[in-house]
Structure 1
Amino acid sequence: MNSYSIADATKPYTEYDMIRDHTELPELPNFRTQLLYAFLNKSPAAGQQSELYALVASLAQMGLDTHDLVAETNDRKEKKEARSRQLKVLAGDYFSSRFYQLLAQAGQVEMTGHMATAICEVNRLKMNMYTRIRQWKMTADEYMQQAVSIKMQLFLTFSRLLEGMKPNSWPDMLHGYTSCEVLLDELRRIERGNDLRSGWAFWHLLQIGTKEEKKQLKNGESDPGKLRTLLHKYNVRATLLQMLDAQFNQLSDKIRQFDSDKLAGELHRIGDPFARAIAASRALEEV
């Protein structure tokens, strides 16, 4: 199974007309899933199950991410919005049920328990993060650390199968790729110009802005236009780009240390979107 077929393998479980026509789904966790498959495929302890584990990890993460899209309140009573909200809940439950089913059919009872434990830990980390956000105790650095930790957690389940490959290589590489993924997501959030109040940039502005700007941000008085003005004023996009560039350089250095040229080549290929995003952003700044 290559990077294309991992995504292709999820289609029978994710591509339904009812869901596609009435609500949106999150993107597949491609970076983490491809990385997991690359490592599992080189592990004597997991090689025969690499395709299964990559598939169930993708479905389990899709279930978590789909539930994250459910609005906190149900204020909008329009039929279309209500149906979309209901389908997100049902779709998230469905993805979770299918990963359980696939593991059960393969007799992977122990792995089912490990993944269930990881899902509980993901939800615990999310609750801690949401609590700190509501209490205004979050910093930009802490936001980044917690966002990476939440995205990593489910995939750390497979660490026990990868211990023999190279000491600590799996958690370390997972952290590096996930950090790049979060930074790239934050850059794209700025480029889209929506949902700006829930990302790293918001907490960064809350730390470096003037007293009046911080007051406006906390009181929710800054409309998207004003937020974009602050992003430009403090050159937030360039800061994120520098962070991504530095993280990707660290990741590339670690990849070059692997003994397996084939694995190193696969890891470089998985990281290509980060390199392209950095190059494209630099070219845009030079225009």
Structure 2
Amino acid sequence: MSRARIDQLAGKYMNHDMISLHTDLPEFPEGRISLLYAVLGQQPEASKDKELLALVTSLVQMALDTHEMVDNAPPSGIGGMLGMRAQQLKVLAGDYFSSRFYHLLSQAGQIDAVRRLSEAVCQINRLKMIFYGKAKQMKMNAEEYLHYGAELRSGLFLSFTGFMSGLYERLWPEILNGFSRCEVLLHEIGKVESSTSLDGSWGVWHILQEGSEEDRRMLSERREDAGAIQVLLRKYDVSEKLGGMLRQATGQLQTSLQRLQSDKLLRELQPIIEPFVQAGKHRATVLKELG
């Protein structure tokens, strides 16, 4: 079985008719799943179960991310009933993915994996409460935003540290955190370039932290005005700063991977790291041209 086969098997659950017809799903965590699959393949004890472990982890992550998309505000207007149905289906879809995770692992007798992933889910939910509490009270800075983002993405995968040994066990948390940070930074660059979901983004926290009093007030008063926010993002070179941080984070990630001293693993992981490399280069090129 290959990682492509994992995508295929996961798709069997994601592409359920009722779910695909009536609601949207979050992006599949392909990068982190590929990373986990490749590294587990280097572990003598876990290698034989890498396909199953990668599959169930993708299901749990999709369950968490699908529940995260649920809007607690009641839908209104003409499409209110359809909107309510979509929200209900998101809840049910997340529950469905979770149930498949338990079923698959219990069938395989992987009780330890059930325990580790379940504990990781509890920890992630606790972390979300802290994150949202700080955000609501405006007690968070831009770097904390990135830190929490990386921790929330890496939480499930960190639970596999105990499946590793030697150098891999020591480096896995560092590699996973670095990869997750790159993912967050790339996602934030996408937000700026697409002008969507800017509220609560790194750029907004950066301006609230570093901006002038006038700009901070403008940002607070016009949070729904995407045009006004874009003006501020350009003024504070948010896209360029994100690009610089992504290049730095990608370099650190590559250094961590090289410490594993496995050319085979590096070749296997290169395709999932390449988007980070290319995005960092692109921002550097744009900045040079503008300069």
Give the conservation status (yes or no) of the 8 Å contact 1:190–1:196: yes
Post-superposition offset of 1:273: 1.6
Distance 2:50 2:163 in 1: 11
Distance 1:4 1:184 in 2: 23
Runs of 5+ unmatched residues, structure 1: none
DSSP 3-state at the match of 1:272: helix
Give the conservation status (yes or no) of the 8 Å contact 1:140–1:204: yes
Give the conservation status (yes or no) of the 8 Å contact 1:62–1:92: yes
Aligned residues: CA RMSD:
1.7
Give the conservation status (yes or no) of the 8 Å contact 2:69–2:90: yes
Give the conservation status (yes or no) of the 8 Å contact 2:2–2:51: no
Post-superposition offset of 1:232: 0.8
Runs of 5+ unmatched residues, structure 2: none
Give the conservation status (yes or no) of the 8 Å contact 1:216–1:222: no
Give the conservation status (yes or no) of the 8 Å contact 2:75–2:83: no
Quickly say closer, same or farther: Cα 1:222–1:211, change in 2 above 3 A: farther
Give the conservation status (yes or no) of the 8 Å contact 1:255–1:268: no
Give the conservation status (yes or no) of the 8 Å contact 1:6–1:34: no
Identity across matched positions, percent: 41
CA deviation string 1:4-37 (max 9, x = no partner): 3332221101012322222111111111111111
Number of positions where the alignment pairs a residue of Structure 1 with one of Structure 2:
287
In structure 2, what is the equivalent of residue 216 of structure 1? Answer: 218
1:118 to 117, 120, 131: 120
Quickly say closer, same or farther: Cα 1:257–1:9, change in 2 above 3 A: same
Distance 1:255 1:183 in 2: 19
In structure 2, what is the equivalent of residue 34 of structure 1? Answer: 34
1:196 aligns with 2:198: yes
CA deviation string 1:103-147 (max 9, x = no partner): 011111121111111101000000000001111101101111111
Distance 2:39 2:210 in 1: 40
User: In terms of mean alpha carbon deviation, does 229-238 or 109-118 score higher?
Assistant: 109-118
CA deviation string 1:204-245 (max 9, x = no partner): 111122212212323455511100110111110000000000
CA deviation string 1:243-280 (max 9, x = no partner): 00011011122222322211121222321121222233
Matches within 5 A, 1:1-287: 1-76=1-76, 78-221=80-223, 223-285=225-287, 286=289
User: In terms of mean alpha carbon deviation, does 15-24 or 192-201 score higher?
Assistant: 15-24
User: In terms of mean alpha carbon deviation, does 216-225 or 87-96 score higher?
Assistant: 216-225
- Normalised to the residue count of structure 2, the TM-score between the two structures is 0.93
Matching residue's letter, 1:93: D
Give the conservation status (yes or no) of the 8 Å contact 1:43–1:165: no
